[in-house]
Amino acid sequence: MNRNEKLVASRYIPKNATVIKSKKSESVVYMFLSISGAPCAIGYAGKARKPAFNHRYLTAKSRLALVTKWLQNEDRAQAYRDEKKAKEKKAREEGHDLQVGDVLTGQWGYDQTNVEYYQVTALIGKRTVEIREIGRMIERTGFMSGHCVPSPNAFTTAAPLRRVVGTAGGVNLNGCCRLHKMKPVEVAGVKTYNTASWSAYA
């Protein structure tokens, strides 16, 4: 017995049921009649052993309409997953657009807004970069709050961190902060960066 056969064997499938399969996914619906003759349907999403629904309907027409709608939603969901997977594969194959010297920033905090700045110091393979934290210039605009901009090459840590670049170009610094590339604007030959707002307390 192969894997699919074991999966089907572990599911509840009514006798004499009519099978309707999703066009793009492994989702399936079994339509049947109850002991009293009422139209019923039980649906399984993907490879799930437990049903996504097990309903009785007023008429066979309403059953078909709702089952068709559910399967169409399953088709759309699978198409989205397939497209996302294809984009991620393409991004992995093509690598990323980060370069040595690029400044990355991210924000995090619950009762306050912490702004992080890092700079790319090395490229490792197609998907990994080395980054080091850099300082910032701040301007206080209120009580325990203000604006800040990065200070490129003003490294605050000696040892770099190695991080994998995500398919969207972002870098996960830790569990609560994701860094993204800053796009500087050159003014009179000098690179300038957009300011960010910070606060010590919300």
CA distances from 52 to 16, 17, 28, 47, 74 (A): 20, 17, 10, 11, 11
More confident call, 130 vs 144: 130
Task: State the pLDDT at residue 63.
Answer: 96
Contact 98, 129 (CB under 8 A): yes
Residue of 61, 62, 4, 53 whose CA lies nearest to 29: 53
Residue of 196, 199, 191 whose CA lies nearest to 179: 196
Q: What is the pLDDT of residues 85-99, one digit of tens each?
A: 898 788 777 778 899
Task: State the pLDDT at residue 99.
Answer: 93
What token pair was written down for 116? 């992080």
The stretch 100-125 carries a mean pLDDT of 93
Q: How far apart are alpha carbons 179 and 58 in whole angstroms?
A: 53
What token pair was written down for 17? 């049921």
Whether this prediction's pTM lies above 0.85 is answered by no
Residue of 100, 110, 85, 88 whose CA lies nearest to 152: 100
- How many CA within 13 A on the CB side of residue 181? 17
Task: State the pLDDT at residue 176.
Answer: 87
Q: What is the pLDDT of residues 33-43, one digit of tens each?
A: 999 999 999 99
Q: What is the pLDDT of residues 163-180, one digit of tens each?
A: 999 877 889 998 889 999
